[in-house]
């Protein structure tokens, strides 16, 4: 099993992709998905990357399902 120091670069890349997905959520969808976005930010702050991915996926499904850029960044993050 790799040490945390070996995983750190991967965690950083994943965080960047998740933040990119978040950045592509439209202002309109932000109002509809405020709870999911808040959860996303909290999970990301605590390095809970899988839970952050789940939260951004919920926001995508709930309010911005037509924005395929979000889906692209989610796929790269996973």
The DSSP line for 31-59 is HHTHHHHHHHHHHHHTT-HHHHHHHHHHH
Name the one residue in this structure whose structure tokens are 């839970």: 51
pLDDT of residue 18: 94
Q: With pLDDT > 70 as the criterion, what percentage of the chain qualifies?
A: 92
Residues belonging to the chain: 78
Sketch the domain layout of the chain as residue ranges.
10-77
pTM for the model: 0.84
Question: Quick one: CA torsion of 45, 46, 47, 50, rounded to 10 degrees?
Answer: -100
User: What is the tens place of the pLDDT at every residue in 19-39?
Assistant: 999 999 888 888 899 999 999
Between CA 31 and CA 14 the distance in angstroms is: 25
- 35-39, 44-48, 63-67: lowest mean pLDDT where? 63-67
pLDDT of residue 5: 76
């Amino acid at each position: 099993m790799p040490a945390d120091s070996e995983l750190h670069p991967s965690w950083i890349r994943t965080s960047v992709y998740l933040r990119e997905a978040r950045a592509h959520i439209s202002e309109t969808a932000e109002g509809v998905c405020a709870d999911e976005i808040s959860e996303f930010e909290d999970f990301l702050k605590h390095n809970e990357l899988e839970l952050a991915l789940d939260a951004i996926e919920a926001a995508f499904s709930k309010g911005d399902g037509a924005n395929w850029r979000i889906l692209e960044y989610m796929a790269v993050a996973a």
